[in-house]
Amino acid sequence: MATTSADATSSTSTDDLHIRSTVVSDGAAMWTLAHECGLDLNSSYAYLVFAADFSATCRIALLDGEPVGYVLGYSPPERGDHVFVWQVAVSSRARGRGLARRMLDHLLDGHPEGTVLEATVEESNEASRALFAAVARARGGTLTWTDGVLAEHFPDEHPSEPRLQITGMGRPS
């Protein structure tokens, strides 16, 4: 794998796979992938705004030029050293080849001020839990869980979203 220097604007490419930070025109593909992957779907406008204004903490992956994955993230203003991963999605045709982990590695390597990774993950989402456990393991970090967002916080039917935090991360092994 050829890897360029790790700043927020760098890209990581193999022959057919390309990972980079987002631009506004990626928002439409992010929305489409969120829909395809069965995630809680935000408005299309929300993905456009994130792709444009939170590009330091958002990533898109292109396989043969086609969008196949994204990370939607932000740094909470009061916790600038944290990166909250709101959504991560990989098209079913590109799963199981380390793509989600590579997007998160690309984000963390390109955003070194983000030393703590946060996300909320439903208890039933084994793939997502395995992904974050793999990131913690590979980067020598410590993963802890707290209650996060409880089912009773939601205005609609929604399972609880326990919150994870990964601290003490280094470069991936």
Ligand X SMILES: CC(C)(COP(=O)(O)OP(=O)(O)OC[C@H]1O[C@@H](n2cnc3c(N)ncnc32)[C@H](O)[C@@H]1OP(=O)(O)O)[C@@H](O)C(=O)NCCC(=O)NCCS
Contact footprint for ligand X (CB under 6 A): 37, 39, 87-90, 95-101, 125-128, 130-131, 134
Alpha-carbon distance of 72 to 91, in angstroms, equals 15
**Closest CB to ligand X among 48 and 99?**
99
Q: How far is the CB of 129 from ligand X (least distance, A)?
A: 8
Taking the CA atoms of the chain, what radius of gyration do you get in angstroms? 15
* CB-CB contact of 107 with 138 (8 Å): no
**Closest CB to ligand X among 56 and 131?**
131
Q: What is the dihedral of CA 36, 3, 139, 22, to 10 degrees?
A: -40
**Closest CB to ligand X among 75 and 128?**
128
Q: How far is the CB of 23 from ligand X (least distance, A)?
A: 21
**Closest CB to ligand X among 21 and 87?**
87
Q: How far is the CB of 93 from ligand X (least distance, A)?
A: 10
User: Which one, of 21, 67, 25, 63, lies nearest residue 44 by Cα?
Assistant: 25
**Closest CB to ligand X among 29 and 90?**
90
Q: How far is the CB of 55 from ligand X (least distance, A)?
A: 19
Q: How far is the CB of 33 from ligand X (least distance, A)?
A: 8
Q: E strands within the chain?
A: 2-3, 12-13, 17-21, 59-63, 66-74, 82-90, 116-120, 142-149, 161-167
